[in-house]
Chain A
């Protein structure tokens, strides 16, 4: 590598670190507060991080009522939502991106239109429908609701990623003359992998962090999600336990990070050009 390249790269690296620090600061602040004692949190002069960190807040958060059941609920709801949504929307995205069919424009309008609806406006009509089928206060009701809002977005985004795939790559693999659908899926899946990952991470995060519908649909504290569990630290008209709230928030963010770390390899951090060579 040339020297100019190396110093250029060093410059970019420094910039990256700088951006990292600025972006992550609020998260750092949240985690740092979670380790501070109550006195330090409240003090007039803020401190960057605690000199005597304490895990009391984490202990309080984990022992808050219904923590583990709500973790389980969140995992179930989000896992099912993401899994089913990605599978279904990939199929629909392939159809939109690669086929010409009557009613295509209508389908696109539907997909985009639903995303344009203010979700808040649908709370009560949706609740009434779900109540009729006993899906209120049920995990399946929430899964079905989340899927409905995730699907249009996933279809729309995946379509973009699939269109983005250079044609040469597709046609290169088409020569074998398989039935179109099978070939498509076998070829498109790996090529669209980065897009699938980005979309599923987004679907995961949006569902994991969703609050309003989970709050309205789930009354039993044993059935609620982690975001609703978090809100109990704030809803009292009495003392707000900031330390426990920040600790609880940190705990809530962990599964998302794990999920991402597990699948991040597919976004090809290393080489990207390998697909076209040869």
Chain B
């Protein structure tokens, strides 16, 4: 915004104002701080102490006994070193990174495609599809999991029934939860299904802010659809796509509810852990809260590492004003 002011001054518009308002300038400079103050206060008041507590816990041995005594044993870096020396941690990390990559790519690709479709269809189709998307989005995760479990029922699930009827193979009495690949594959379909609506609607909202004239002009000039997308639409969508990708990475890396409930307590074991589940199992189920805190901090570091590229681009994009 400084440029606009500078330009205005250069154009001779507000020379007198600049000299007069020193106090006003202070006021104006403090505007952004006033704008972010409410958010800072809200977050700080609620999360400040818990975050401090989380960090402190990670350096303590804090099991059920210590929880009841309200006092932990300081053990320095032992939690961190035991986790980093645990083979399960590393296997889980690799598995989670792959899982995240697959989920994010599918979500972003399908979501963007659906958004582009929404721009091109008639109003009734747009309303229909968007209502469908919102309906999907509105379904609580815990409910969606139950529906998934119901649909993939070993004995009378609609999925087995339909696949067999369509002669895609003999899926009669196929147990979808028998192998890790199948379990995580199902979790992926559930998560992508639940995430596509948000991406599609957000990208569509961003497209709605973009003049369609630009695209149509390019199309009339004879450019092929893919080039139109790449050269005209994509640059405009960049900020929103970057945000959505970075958010998807963050969520999918730490996702817990869907895989945990879908795969079920009965099938979860170190061989199919994802990071979110690993945290819950090691920290809460085994009531090792110090270890859980250490895992939380490690996860924070991992996610930060994974999304730093996108976040950097995001921040820099804002700076290009």
Q: Is the CB of B142 within 8 A of A276?
A: no
Given known A-B contacts A26-B193, A147-B42, A161-B206, A12 and B125 have beta carbons under 8 A apart? yes
Q: Is the CB of A171 within 8 A of B318?
A: no
**What are the residues of chain A within 8 A of B128 when measuring CB–CB?**
16-17, 20
Q: Is the CB of A118 within 8 A of B134?
A: no
Chain A nearest Cβ from B195, distance in angstroms: 11
**What are the residues of chain B within 8 A of A107 when measuring CB–CB?**
36, 40
Q: Is the CB of A121 within 8 A of B293?
A: yes
Given known A-B contacts A115-B250, A122-B54, A267 and B205 have beta carbons under 8 A apart? yes
Q: Is the CB of B140 within 8 A of A249?
A: yes
Residue-by-residue, is A178-202 near B (CB-CB < 8 Å gives 1, otherwise 0)?
0011000000000100110110011
Q: Is the CB of B256 within 8 A of A120?
A: yes
Q: Is the CB of A124 within 8 A of B39?
A: no
Residue-by-residue, is B193-223 near A (CB-CB < 8 Å gives 1, otherwise 0)?
1001110011011111111110000000000
Q: Which residue of B lies closest to A148 (CB)?
A: B46
Q: Of A13, A94, A160, A276, which contacts B122 at CB under 8 A? A: A13
Q: Which residue of A lies closest to B196 (CB)?
A: A23
Residue-by-residue, is B9-47 near A (CB-CB < 8 Å gives 1, otherwise 0)?
000000000000000000011011101101110110011
Q: Is the CB of B205 within 8 A of A198?
A: yes
In the bound complex, how far is the Cα of B147 from the Cα of A15, in angstroms? 25
Size class of the A contact interface (CB-based, 8 Å): 35 or more
Chain B nearest Cβ from A21, distance in angstroms: 8
Chain A, range 197-240, C-beta contacts under 8 Å to B: 197-198, 201-202, 205, 208-209, 211-212, 227, 230-231, 234
Q: Of B33, B161, B196, B283, which contacts A120 at CB under 8 A? A: B283
Q: Is the CB of B213 within 8 A of A276?
A: yes
A71 at the interface (CB under 8 A from B): no
Given known A-B contacts A24-B135, A46-B157, A115-B247, A208 and B303 have beta carbons under 8 A apart? no
Main secondary structure, interface of A, reads helix
Chain B nearest Cβ from A43, distance in angstroms: 7
**What are the residues of chain A within 8 A of B283 when measuring CB–CB?**
120-121
B168 at the interface (CB under 8 A from A): no
In the bound complex, how far is the Cα of B52 from the Cα of A122, in angstroms? 11
Q: Is the CB of B32 within 8 A of A95?
A: yes
Chain A, range 233-274, C-beta contacts under 8 Å to B: 234, 242, 245-246, 249, 252-253, 256-257, 260-261, 264, 267-270, 272-273
**What are the residues of chain B within 8 A of A29 when measuring CB–CB?**
147, 150-151, 158
Q: Is the CB of B138 within 8 A of A205?
A: yes
Q: Is the CB of A256 within 8 A of B47?
A: no
Q: Is the CB of B206 within 8 A of A256?
A: no
B315 at the interface (CB under 8 A from A): yes
B265 at the interface (CB under 8 A from A): no
Summed over the interface, the residue pairs from A and B with CB atoms below 8 Å come to a total of: 308
B171 at the interface (CB under 8 A from A): no
In the bound complex, how far is the Cα of B157 from the Cα of A43, in angstroms? 10
Q: Which residue of A lies closest to B114 (CB)?
A: A19
Q: Which residue of A lies closest to B317 (CB)?
A: A163
Q: Of B157, B240, B256, B284, which contacts A164 at CB under 8 A? A: B240
Residue-by-residue, is B288-320 near A (CB-CB < 8 Å gives 1, otherwise 0)?
010011011001100110010001001101100
Q: A26-B144, A161-B205, A275-B209 are in contact. List 15 more A-B contacts (CB 8 A).
A: A16-B129, A17-B125, A46-B158, A89-B39, A123-B284, A125-B54, A148-B47, A164-B206, A166-B211, A209-B138, A209-B141, A211-B140, A211-B141, A261-B131, A273-B213
A residues adjacent to B (C-beta < 8 A): 8-9, 12-13, 15-17, 19-20, 23-24, 26-27, 29-30, 33, 42-46, 88-89, 91-92, 94-101, 104-105, 107-108, 110, 112-126, 128-129, 144-145, 147-148, 151-153, 155-157, 159-161, 163-166, 171, 174, 180-181, 191, 194-195, 197-198, 201-202, 205, 208-209, 211-212, 227, 230-231, 234, 242, 245-246, 249, 252-253, 256-257, 260-261, 264, 267-270, 272-273, 275-276
12 A–B contacts from the bound complex (CB under 8 Å)? A13-B125, A17-B128, A115-B247, A116-B303, A129-B46, A195-B206, A198-B201, A209-B140, A211-B257, A242-B150, A267-B201, A272-B212
Nearest 9 Cβ contacts at the A-B interface: A121-B296, A256-B138, A125-B50, A95-B35, A209-B140, A194-B205, A99-B32, A95-B32, A249-B143
